[in-house]
Structure formats: C-alpha cells, structure tokens
Amino acid sequence: MNAAAPARHFDVVVIGSGPAGQKAAIQSAKAGKRVAVIERDRQVGGSCVHTGTIPSKSLREHALRQRVRQVNLMDEPIQSLLDGVGETVAAHDAYMAAQLERNGIELLRGRASFISPHELALKRIDGSKGSVRGEIIIIATGSRPRAPVQLSVDHEHVLDSDSILSLAYLPRSLLVLGGGIIASEYAAMFAALGCKITQADQLDRPLAFLDPELTTFYVEELRRNGGEYIPCAEAVATRWDGISQVRTDFKDGRAIFADKVLVALGRLANVDGLNLEAAGVALTSRGHVQVDDQLRTTTAGIYAAGDVIGPPALASVSMEQGRRAACHALGLLVPSDPVSRLPSGVYTIPEIATVGLDEHGARRHFGGAVVGRARFEEIARGQINGCQRGLLKLVADPGGRRVVGVQIAGDSATELVHIGQLGLAAELDVDAYVDNVFNFPTMAEAYRIAAFDIVKQRGRSTTSDIVADAVSAVL
C-alpha cells in the first residue's frame, strides 16, 4: 500500500472564494505570501455571484424598467427577465478566476475539513483526497438560507432566496416572510414587477436596524406599489393546497393565501463539514464563527470573515473583512477605525443607503445631534427624473459642526452615499458641504441643502445666514 501523500504547504489557506475569501487571498498574495483558495463549487465567487447579488440585481433592473414603462409582466417567464444574467455571471466568474491566477494564487477544488489547527483534509470534486497545511487559515465559507422546518420549503411553492429566481413564471401573489435585507429587497422587487405582495415578520417594522425614517419610507413605497407589511406576525406552518395556492398560518390565528411564499428568515453559516472542533474554533450562540475585533477566531492562526461570522452579511462589508483579516494575520497596517466608514446599501425600490451614525446613534453617543434634511422634491434633478420621493439626512454632532453620519432613502441612494463616506473619511465638517459647488442639476445637491438646514439650526453669523437663506431660495 502506498503511503499517503504529504500535505501541501502554503503560507495562507483561504476556505471559500466569495467576496471575503477572494479579497483575503489577494491581500495575502500581494504581501508576497504563497496562497491557496479552496472552493467546493465548480465556479468561484460564492453565492454573491451565482445566487445572490448579481442575479437578484439583474431582476431588479428589469423591475425598474417595468416601473418606467408600466408594462404588465404577469405570466412572463422569470428567465426572460433574467436575460443576459448568465453571461454576466460567467464573465464575472472568469474575471475572478483570472485575478486569482494573475496574483499567483492556487485554486484548489474540493471540500475542506480541519484535521488540526493548521492542517485541512481536502476531498476533491472527482472524489480523490489530499491534505493542505497553512500557517494561517482564513475561513470565508459564507452562508445559506435558513429554512425553519415548520415552513416546508419545497423550492417549488415555498421558496428560499436561492430558489426564488428559479420560478417558471411571475406569481400573481407572493407572501414574503421576513423583514431583513433580502426579504425587503425581493418584496420591493416583485411588487414593482406587478405581483401582489404581502410581507410579514415578527418585528414591528422591517429593516429594523435602520433609522425609523428610512423604514417608514420603505413601507410607504411598498404600499404605493400595492404591497402590504404585516408586523408582529410569526408564521407557524405552510401548506400547498395541491392546486394553486399556499396557505400560511400564523401564531395569532390568521391565515394568508398566496400563489407562492418566499421564506427569508435569516441565513445559516456554512460550517457543516468543516470539523471546526478539530481546530478548536468556537461558534456563537447563533451558529456563526466567533471572532474578535481583529477577526481572530478562538484558535491562534485561524481567522474568519464574511457571512460566516454573521451580520451585516453585505458583499461590500465581506470584502473589507476579508482584506482586514489577512492584514491582521500578516501583521500589516490596518486603519484603526474603518467600521464607521463602511457604507450599507439596501437595494429595495427605491434604494436605501447609510454610512456612519444614524440620528439615534449620534444622540446616544454624543448626548445630542443636529440633523439636516433634504427632500428629493426640493431638488431640480429629482423633479426632472421623476424621483421626487426621497430623503437625505446629514447627522451632525450637538454643535452642528462635524458630520457623523448620512442616511439616504430614494433613487441613487447607494451611489450618493459615497460622497458622505468620503466626507467622513476626510473628517469634513458641515460647512464643507455648503462651501463646495455641486453640478446643477444633480441629486448630489441634496448634501448642500441638508447642510444648509443644519447651518440654519445652529445659528451662524448674520452674514452667513443671509447667504444661506439666499442660496436656499434659489435651490
């Protein structure tokens, strides 16, 4: 009998090729390390590319165009609405694979499981086996939809966020269970496509982590598109009637009938089969890999990043976590406080985006806050584009001088937020948004209007007040 082949040795081994894993691997390679990425699927990119961000945002673009054209898409095959997404996914997959190769990163196909803190067993796609050693191991295996057993997810009548895009046709009615980002994005998307949407969740408002003004905006827009949000509703059972409808029963005794049901009640970390016990890596009470503020797990030399460590489970945040995990592991310089400058984007219709502290967070942290508001109906570009419904909030410290957060709801929110993000990074004060000139007409003028609102509240000098009032009148 031949002896087992010795384990292959790398400086850094990354498990998973999604946003977190990819950035961790590239950062490590650019630091001159020998790096391997282990990916269990045939394609790289994780759920972000193949079942999440790219496919769902492609459908969202069709929903936006439908809203403008006011076309009835009922009975339209879903795949026709996703026309071209396959090519987009394939192109992105090829680009990422080439990026790994260009950086000298070895891509190993197969499933990884810990043998010890620094050694992994690798079961390849063809069934063969091997092992890999790494001085540093970064877990970036992502997550999958959580399917409560009582809700009978069958991926035909009761779906999750992976199977929702495999629908043959748009349903005439859709019940969305959940109030988080994924639930709200799909609820808004299908409502814009013409489906009768009911969204229900145990919490009293959806997107509860956001500023209440933004969640109120979301609920109002959902209602404008014919949808409804039902608060404090816990689903306890789903049952297809065998013909055309799914009945969902709730704890309070009510029942809702719909053509299809989407279960979007959170996600589970992909840790099954990793044999974390052999490495001494602990999980949190919610089943996520436990990490500290430097993304270290409970075992020295093992780090984790992305969805596998829990919320916010955004691709952009996962990318930054992956990069930072590699930097911490390799002793590279890491910015001391980037968390407050990481933007969040929710791709509802219209969009919602935030960066920094919201109003409640600022009042809690500083003991007070001055908030400036600009409504899109006040902006010429909003009138021209027909995007009058929207709001930008600048949150400043109690003196009304330093900007500490930006909250936006409305079209282009996920683009506009980056102006605020850079402002926070540069530690710009409120006056910078007043004194700098914005192109006219643009949605970005909302920053100036909101800044003028703060200036007015804090009571500047008489001359400045006159100038501010004059410009406000023009705007």
Q: 224: domain CATH number?
A: 3.50.50.60
- On whether both 393 and 316 belong to a single domain, the answer is no
Is residue 345 a part of any domain in this protein? no
Where among 265, 289, 324 does a domain terminate? Answer: 265
pLDDT in tens, the chain (475 residues): 445 678 899 999 999 998 999 999 999 999 999 999 999 887 766 554 555 566 777 777 767 766 544 555 555 566 666 665 666 666 767 777 888 889 999 999 999 999 999 999 999 888 899 999 999 999 999 999 998 989 989 999 999 998 888 888 889 999 999 999 999 999 999 998 889 999 999 999 999 999 999 999 999 999 999 999 999 999 999 999 989 899 999 999 999 999 999 999 999 999 999 999 999 999 999 999 999 999 999 999 999 999 999 988 888 889 999 999 999 999 998 876 656 678 999 999 999 999 999 999 999 999 999 999 999 999 999 888 888 899 999 999 999 999 999 999 999 999 999 999 999 999 999 999 999 999 999 999 999 999 999 999 987 543 444 444 444 443 4
- On whether both 449 and 402 belong to a single domain, the answer is yes
Q: Would you state the pLDDT for residue 385?
A: 85
Q: Which domain holds residue 409?
A: 350-474
Is residue 333 a part of any domain in this protein? yes
- On whether both 218 and 307 belong to a single domain, the answer is no
Is residue 273 a part of any domain in this protein? yes
Beta carbons within 10 angstroms of residue 125's beta carbon: 12
- On whether both 292 and 230 belong to a single domain, the answer is no
- On whether both 237 and 172 belong to a single domain, the answer is yes
- On whether both 139 and 25 belong to a single domain, the answer is yes
Q: Which residues of 168-201 are buried (b: 16+ CB within 10 A; e: fewer)?
A: eebbebbbbbbbbbbbbbbbbbbbbbbbbbbbbb
Is residue 366 a part of any domain in this protein? yes
**Is 38:120 a contact under the CB 8 Å cutoff?**
yes
- On whether both 167 and 191 belong to a single domain, the answer is yes
- On whether both 155 and 116 belong to a single domain, the answer is no
Is residue 2 a part of any domain in this protein? no
- On whether both 32 and 127 belong to a single domain, the answer is yes
Is residue 228 a part of any domain in this protein? yes
Is residue 173 a part of any domain in this protein? yes
**Cis status of the peptide bond prior to 441, with omega within 30 of 0:** yes
Domains of the chain: total: 3
Where among 265, 293, 308 does a domain terminate? Answer: 265
**Considering just the CA atoms, what is the radius of gyration of the chain in Å?**
24
- On whether both 303 and 203 belong to a single domain, the answer is no
- On whether both 320 and 300 belong to a single domain, the answer is yes
pTM for this predicted structure: 0.87
Is residue 75 a part of any domain in this protein? yes
**Is 431:371 a contact under the CB 8 Å cutoff?**
no
Where among 249, 265, 281 does a domain terminate? Answer: 265
- On whether both 12 and 140 belong to a single domain, the answer is yes
Place of tokens 């282009």: 412
